[in-house]
Structure 1
Amino acid sequence: MTSPTQPAPAPSRVCFQLRVKPDLLDEYLRRHSPVWPEMLAEIAAAGRRNYSLFLGEGGQLIGYYETDDDAAARAYLAASPIAARWEAEMSRFFVGLEGRPDQAAAPLTEVFNLHDQLTESTPS
């Protein structure tokens, strides 16, 4: 817990990239409209928020979410039977992916964040 004089730590921003098989794009989109309610609840219970997926040319998929503890969120979902079932169904959609999509997608390195730089450049 933080004291009134200590600000809460900034959430981690996590971005990842996967590639959806072009011949399965339509089905992939149908599966996300909507996502199972119990899977949505597990994502939230894991501590992920502001979670979005963006689809680009050729099946390029970019995911983004924020969390206070990404290792804990990943561990929670890794142990979740609901997430395991969802990911087992979703794994066939991705090119060159071994294992569960949520666990196998490597985070991208953040190189710029407007809010952080504005905050750092503002005198106290």
Structure 2
Amino acid sequence: MTSTGPTRVCFELRVAPDLLDEYVERHTPVWPEMLAEIAAAGRRNYSLFLGDGGRLIGYYETDDDAAAQAYLAASPVAARWEAEMARFFVGLEGRPDQAATPLAEVFNLEAQLASAGETPSTEESDAP
């Protein structure tokens, strides 16, 4: 199956449990200049989800993940942000934005509906 839409990237990191509150505070809000760099890199629909024990799941969409990674790797703003964020993560070597390993996507509703020749619907069905 060939994808015609954006690349969806999901990754997992582990935040040190004793630093969870500070990690959340640092993201409420993120520096405006860092937000601008993320957008300029071509990442959109970017979210982070925090679970029990410091499990952090990130998700974003982009048209060219390699170009987005390269842009952020060269960004002085991102370098400063990532240097400050590095201490929050457990078992990670290097910059968090460059060292996180993407998770494999095994299911996407829209892609499977398109492959089956159907379109997603948000309307309620009249069936009982």
Q: TM-score, normalised by structure 2?
A: 0.89
Instruction: State the partner residue of 2:43.
Output: 48
In percent, how many aligned pairs have the same letter? 80
- Between the aligned partners of 1:85 and 1:9, the Cα distance in structure 2 is 34
Structure 1 segments unaligned to the other structure (5+ residues):
1-7
- Between the aligned partners of 2:107 and 2:46, the Cα distance in structure 1 is 19
Deviation at 1:9, TM superposition (A): 3.4
Within a 5 Å distance, the mapping from 1:4-83 to structure 2 comes to 9-83=4-78
Pairing 1:90–2:85 present = yes
Deviation at 1:10, TM superposition (A): 1.2
Structure 1 residue identity aligned to 2:97: D
Structure 2 residue identity aligned to 1:40: L
Pairing 1:118–2:122 present = no
- Between the aligned partners of 1:36 and 1:122, the Cα distance in structure 2 is 43
Deviations 1:37-60 (A, max 9, x none): 000000000000000000001000
Q: 3-state DSSP class of the match of 1:111?
A: coil
Structure 2 segments unaligned to the other structure (5+ residues):
119-128
Q: 3-state DSSP class of the match of 1:16?
A: strand
C-alpha RMSD of the superposition: 1.5
Q: How many residues align?
A: 117
- Between the aligned partners of 1:97 and 1:50, the Cα distance in structure 2 is 24
